[in-house]
Structure 1
């Protein structure tokens, strides 16, 4: 064993990275708790995040569980969560590796039994009863034969069809339908707005004012009918000048609007029978068909939901794939504002540490100008030296050329006489021609070298001139904004008031010219000195 393990490694346990162990824990928790129902009290709820998601916790007397509701799920909730409300959450457990904690991703949320909602409903009921909104003395009688009936309900449900059919069979008359939502957190406000809207009509308007109102909805659970327990809706019905018939739910269902309305109907169909004269031959048939239709639709929807749920179990949902990126995005969004503020402060500090003044720029420009002048002088001296050397070589070659030519001609003559049939080229003449070619080639190369050197120097001079122009423009742009440079008589920049004495001659440089001035106050003793006008172009003379 000593050959296998070293002194630093005394175990054969498998090593995991933090990401690997976090991923393994996430898969284990999601597989073991893929679908759970948790009862607890809502804690730390502050409403939806700016992204639409909601983050809070479920707790009891001994533990606390983090919870998250995605934006798509929030829009499907039947009621709005509130701080301290006891609820039953359905969803799955998962982990968040960024903080090494676990949480529940909620798919549905409902109150913890009917007891919590019933307690809230009873409290509202007692408060409205104390104000006298349920008294029989304030209830208005229904008209015996109305000419117009206003119906407030969903335009797509079976309720409105039942009411219209019942009225058409029993007593055909004009019906006004105000479409509203009959389920969800906005149902109460929409129904209250519809009641106030019908009351705002007058008898002389193009739309006839209804003689009686029917507020209708099909049956359902306490949560489904919770919108009709809204306090604002109850007060709107109580203040209505038009008699109101409440037809919410079935016979066993009751809401606050049933207690405030002038008449309560057991069903929406019963409301139509109460609103018009009694002729109910088809009442039983229509009620049976409506019930069977609702049951068939419900069973068909349930079967389709089960089929869809079974097929969706094999595929991960979009919420599962985007859970971690969503959480990370929310956290980064929260830190973005602070990061921008810190970055801005750092940039401001760095910019404040840079000391840039006209005197510094002028000094740098003078240094660069001296270096440029020195390089130009060196280039000119080198060019003159190279030209002198080439000229001497050329003159030497020119002096030797006649002698070489004479010798070449004499030798050529002797060879011609010695061998008339053979004509040869004098080697010395070939050497002269070759030297001449080399001299021409060297002259061309020399011109190229000189041209390249001059181009390089010209480029450096152009860049230095461009930089000088840029710096001047930068200084000029500062003067264009209303500033001025204060110089002493020798042209040095004055930076502080302590440097000025009474009687000092000052030179002022503006954006459009220069001027001279005499200091009338200062910390030092007055020293009169002669005032001279600036000789620079654009000077405007003394301002004093």
Structure 2
């Protein structure tokens, strides 16, 4: 606050910032925490920063509103244009535009009618995406060995489910504890469904064959977590069949449409999940009795049929009488047939023996010798004819060949060799030039990095008696012979004091000029 001595009035003078700050403090102190009922107007969804800006209005006035990212993530529903809500927050001002606004921390629809309208709109939108399609429903396993239950571990629901499963068909039950009411119930249920689906090989718990999502009855607000969009999407994407048992038979939530089966109560879900063991045992016993009776009747019928067929068959003597008679007759004829066959073979052998004689063999050998001599006499003429035919064939082939194509082919080959030679010379020249430039660059780099270039700028290098460069003054001892190398030569020196690592040097030395023409340096 500034006051001017010569001001004609005693009224205090403020700057714009002071007035804006005072108004901001006044509004925040007077309206630190308020609940405002109004209709959302000009809703601009969450920005990239996560904040949302809009207005709350009624039939007479409007107020600017903002929801920061942290509060936006805790809302149980998605704000929409024209929705009537009850917002809880604090009033403040925005000095940059001289406006007041409400910073909303919590927001809920204004009454059950608004909740039902929001629920119906969300149901239509999710149904349009195909999350409630009947064709996508999975059948429940007939006899699951492991059942997963998503519910509160302290309520009566889990006790009812376990009691009914134990009475009907005892199986292994895995409970994933979640909150079934409140702002975090929806994300917890969705995480439980996704967690059960993520179980597999190497997991500490086995993967269930069916899931039950259960909760007792309640109001629409109590069951609102099961209408959360994240829960519906998790249930629809589940690879394990899910039974929804939320509320009583008259209650309904969106998870009922996305689940594979809906149970009227949690107890009904347990009855859907497992059959009755006693009924199964009775059915198996009945089927076993029917099976044994059917087998007995079948065996008796087959035995009776076998006896009837055996009476119709003839005896073994009747079946073998005719073959036995034919066998006896064949055995009686066998001796005479062998004698007759022997005589016939002997007569044939005698006939062939009379046809064989040395004179006949000599005549056949003479005929074969004459045939061989005739063939040998014909061979020289055949060879000459074959050679003449081959010679004429080669002559015709040589006549078809001319030296012109061969000459053209040789010229093309020579031209290609000349081109290849020129390319080789150019390539070799380019390689030499590249290596020459590289050598020049390396030589310049070597000169630049060499200590001789440092000597050119007026520096010197100190060597000890062994010829090693001295890097530290602390390593120099009194009376030690040193060599100083300059640009144009070396100079000998003797250290008169020990070296010190400090910047100032207190050592003295005597130098003797060698070939460089330098005087005393210390």
TM-score over 0.5 (shorter chain) = no
Give the alignment's TM-score, normalised by structure 2. Answer: 0.41
Structure with larger Rg = 2
